[in-house]
Amino acid sequence: MVVKSKGIPLATLLLILFLSAIFPTSFSNQVLNSKKPIPSSSASSLGSSVAFQIKGNVYPLGYYTVSLAIGNPPKVYDLDIDTGSDLTWVQCDAPCKGCTLPRNRLYKPHGDLVKCVDPLCAAIQSAPNHHCAGPNEQCDYEVEYADQGSSLGVLLRDNIPLKFTNGSLARPMLAFGCGYDQTHHGQNPPPSTAGVLGLGNGRTSILSQLHSLGLIRNVVGHCLSGRGGGFLFFGDQLIPPSGVVWTPLLQSSSAQHYKTGPADLFFDRKTTSVKGLELIFDSGSSYTYFNSQAHKALVNLIANDLRGKPLSRATGDPSLPICWKGPKPFKSLHDVTSNFKPLLLSFTKSKNSPLQLPPEAYLIVTKHGNVCLGILDGTEIGLGNTNIIGGEKISNTNKF
């Protein structure tokens, strides 16, 4: 499935940091004029973090999940991680339409209903004039995702037990959606996960809630391995002490997005015609998307560079739009990456080192033995000029 991201709701001002090695990134909307990275470990009372193991991969699965425990006694739900949207929701036994889990694995609502007059309720409404019929009315929500899927439900609060890196266990009451009507469209299959973990920048995200309860610093990071899996963390304790690059995040019209200032693309360390790309970090999108013009330029650069090499365009692979085949099928990226050049994204407003994209980071070997470009044409699927860094083997840390 392609763009999973639910959204691209918008944000404030952030700093991003990219760790060069596997290339993780970090975002922060913290301080515009702060050029300094946040201290990676401090004696501060907010110095604790929570870490989650990530499962999943870009191909063939197309999504990443973490297990989140909810309730008391807790039950565990596998949620799709999405830095492109705010609201966390789980399939709910309410009764449920479009739910894909067996009934005993649905969330049974027993938390406190969030009221319509609660500020968190106004924060998730897309309509500008949020109206409540009465003080005790419940808070209904509806989220729509870029892949045309949606979830409709009611906002409630329940205990979410979290183990912190300092050894403490906390059970904050956090607000999330109890989704009783899920839809999906077109070629996208119904969700196979129990719901979505919204990691956006807006106030309804679990991160913002933990930060406003004073439990973590406003940092979120994830590190995704090329072999699948990885880890996710909240708080600033697990930021690698070196290899991190910071760049300011833009104030964007949609509050839950982590969007960078303009970046220029380099191919094989040389400048290209692709300049001034603004990028949104969105783990809910399986792939990375460039606007048509940038995408065409990139495909041409790669095609020219492949001349004389034992690779030719493979047109019959249904996995992805742009693929190449070799003399015999490739078994892994290892067999083929030496034929491709590294890409770099250089953020024009930061003096830091650029974000490195080695071939492993932008190529995928399919089950048909072809190597395909993991950067897709976003304009073709209706993203217009938006450029998205998807969940592909990229790590990022956002200070929100």
* Residues identified as active-site: 82, 282
Q: Which residue is nearest to ligand NAG (CB)?
A: 48
Sheet with 323-325: strands ordered across: 312-314, 323-325, 371-373, 363-365
Q: Residue 235 CB, nearest distance to ligand NAG (Å)?
A: 7
Q: Residue 44 CB, nearest distance to ligand NAG (Å)?
A: 9
Q: Which one, 71 or 235, has the nearer CB to ligand NAG? A: 235
Q: Which one, 23 or 234, has the nearer CB to ligand NAG? A: 234
Decide: 66 and 55 in contact? Cβ < 8 Å: yes
Structure tokens at 273: 């015609």
**Other beta carbons within 10 Å of 118:** 15
Decide: 352 and 335 in contact? Cβ < 8 Å: no
How many whole angstroms separate alpha carbon 282 and alpha carbon 105? 28
Which 3 state secondary structure label does DSSP give 194? coil
Q: How many residues make contact with ligand NAG (CB under 6 A)?
A: 7
Decide: 289 and 69 in contact? Cβ < 8 Å: no
Binding-residue pattern over the window 13 to 52 for ligand NAG, x denoting contact by CB under 6 A:
---------------------------------x-x----
Decide: 239 and 40 in contact? Cβ < 8 Å: yes
Q: Does residue number 170 form part of the binding site for ligand NAG (CB under 6 A)?
A: yes
Q: Residue 236 CB, nearest distance to ligand NAG (Å)?
A: 11
Q: Which of residues 150-169 bind ligand NAG (CB under 6 A)?
A: 164, 166, 168
Binding-residue pattern over the window 68 to 97 for ligand NAG, x denoting contact by CB under 6 A:
------------------------------
Q: What is the per-residue burial (b if ≥16 Cβ within 10 Å, else e) of 149-172?
A: bbbbbbbbbbbbebebeeeeeeeb
Q: Which one, 47 or 179, has the nearer CB to ligand NAG? A: 47
Nearest-CA neighbor of 243 among 345, 42, 396?
A: 396
How many whole angstroms separate alpha carbon 287 and alpha carbon 289? 6
Q: Which one, 215 or 376, has the nearer CB to ligand NAG? A: 215
Residues in Cβ contact with 307 at an 8 Å cutoff, skipping those fewer than 6 apart: none
Binding-residue pattern over the window 200 to 219 for ligand NAG, x denoting contact by CB under 6 A:
---------------x----
Q: Which one, 235 or 240, has the nearer CB to ligand NAG? A: 235
Q: Which one, 170 or 297, has the nearer CB to ligand NAG? A: 170
Nearest-CA neighbor of 236 among 33, 10, 400?
A: 400
Q: Residue 90 CB, nearest distance to ligand NAG (Å)?
A: 24
Q: Residue 166 CB, nearest distance to ligand NAG (Å)?
A: 4
End-to-end CA distance of the chain: 27
Q: Residue 125 CB, nearest distance to ligand NAG (Å)?
A: 30
How many whole angstroms separate alpha carbon 143 and alpha carbon 7? 8
List contacts with ligand NAG (CB under 6 A).
Answer: 46, 48, 164, 166, 168, 170, 215
